[in-house]
Amino acid sequence: MLRQVAEGVLIHESEFCQSNAVVVHGRAGVLLIDPGVTGSEIACLANDLRELGQPVVAGFSTHPHWDHLLWHAGLGAAPRYGTARCAAAARDERSDAGWKARIAEWIPPDIAGQISWDLFGLITGLPAETARIPWDGPQVRIVEHQAHAAGHAALLIEERGVLVAGDMLSDVLIPMLDLDGTADPIEDYLAALRLLEGAADDIDVLVPGHGSIGGADQVNARIDQDRGYVHALRDAGVAGDPRVGPSAKDGWQWVAGVHARQLQRLARRSERDGTPG
Ligand SMILES: [Zn+2]
């Protein structure tokens, strides 16, 4: 079911990890950002759009993680964009012979059986430094950074006051660092938060990749919360973060395990090369 969160901007929420697909109305159809996860829910979204007489004229994946790269034939054959780095990572993923099995290892079995992989990761990379998504609708600014995943992009729909954050600024998920992808994942994450902070002045609606939609008051609060978490990781301190431990929302207790693993891996890294992070 589609739910309006701002004028011309609607959300379709997945059963998997409260993933948010975002629909933006344009002149001749819609832009669809991170379509969703299970085959049936993306088909349901395609159906809703068909009933509204709104073809998908462009897609966008915020970053090259499996749950942001799926598609369904019912959505049609519009170009699916991502940053050049995102498209390259998705292409690499698909080019490896055992890719489906390898990705499926990360997915709960009850969800893995419901995913349609046919159109997975077929992303058209936008040239580096592309400022806006090329489409006929409200301007959508691309804010690319290196936190969480290669070529991650947040999207800013200024005339609607909406920030689509991808896998950051969530009320349920802690910052998950790209510990294999970059030389300094802590600093990359902090730099990305500064970028979002600089872009987020007039935001009324914050849409995280997973979790609850936030209002204007949530933007800086969630930036501060994510920064506090990353600082705690950097200093190998106790997170004191409401998303970790008994205060985690129902169904999100597993996030504490992610936190423990990140701490462990960062400790190993600093042992190895004598530097924090
Ligand atoms: Zn992700």
Residue 251 reports pLDDT greater than 70: yes
Instruction: Give the torsion sign (CA, 48, 50, 55, 56).
Output: positive
pLDDT tens, position by position, 11-55? 999 888 899 999 999 999 999 999 999 999 999 999 999 999 999
In the reported structure, the alpha carbon of residue 255 is separated from the centroid of ligand 1 by a whole-number distance in angstroms of 14
Residue 56 reports pLDDT greater than 90: yes
Residue (of 83, 151, 154, 153) closest to 123 by Cα position:
83
pLDDT at res. 164: 98
- With 0-12 / 13-18 / 19 or more C-beta atoms within 10 angstroms meaning exposed / middle / buried, residue 117 is middle
- Rounded Cα gap, residues 92 and 23, in angstroms: 27
pLDDT tens, position by position, 121-165? 999 999 999 999 999 999 999 999 999 999 999 999 999 999 999
pLDDT tens, position by position, 5-18? 999 999 999 888 89
In the reported structure, the alpha carbon of residue 134 is separated from the centroid of ligand 1 by a whole-number distance in angstroms of 23
In the reported structure, the alpha carbon of residue 65 is separated from the centroid of ligand 1 by a whole-number distance in angstroms of 5
In the reported structure, the alpha carbon of residue 48 is separated from the centroid of ligand 1 by a whole-number distance in angstroms of 26
Residue (of 165, 148, 216) closest to 20 by Cα position:
165
pLDDT at res. 239: 67
In the reported structure, the alpha carbon of residue 96 is separated from the centroid of ligand 1 by a whole-number distance in angstroms of 20
pLDDT tens, position by position, 190-201? 999 999 999 988
pLDDT at res. 1: 86
Beta bridge partners of 81: 60, 124
In the reported structure, the alpha carbon of residue 272 is separated from the centroid of ligand 1 by a whole-number distance in angstroms of 26
pLDDT tens, position by position, 66-120? 999 999 999 999 999 999 999 999 999 999 889 988 888 888 888 888 999 999 9
In the reported structure, the alpha carbon of residue 197 is separated from the centroid of ligand 1 by a whole-number distance in angstroms of 20
In the reported structure, the alpha carbon of residue 49 is separated from the centroid of ligand 1 by a whole-number distance in angstroms of 25
**Residue 235, token pair as written in the block:** 């200093």
Sheet holding 20-25, edge to edge: 2-6, 9-13, 20-25, 30-33, 56-60, 80-83, 124-126
Residue type, 105: E
pTM of the predicted structure, to 2 decimals:
0.95
In the reported structure, the alpha carbon of residue 180 is separated from the centroid of ligand 1 by a whole-number distance in angstroms of 14
CB 37 within 8 A of CB 65: no
pLDDT at res. 275: 57
- Rounded Cα gap, residues 149 and 208, in angstroms: 15
How many angstroms separate the Cα of 256 from the Cα of each of 66, 121, 175? Answer: 22, 29, 12
pLDDT at res. 181: 83
In the reported structure, the alpha carbon of residue 17 is separated from the centroid of ligand 1 by a whole-number distance in angstroms of 11
In the reported structure, the alpha carbon of residue 50 is separated from the centroid of ligand 1 by a whole-number distance in angstroms of 28
In the reported structure, the alpha carbon of residue 3 is separated from the centroid of ligand 1 by a whole-number distance in angstroms of 23
pLDDT tens, position by position, 162-189? 999 999 999 999 999 999 888 899 999 9
Secondary structure (3-state) at 224: helix
CB 208 within 8 A of CB 217: no
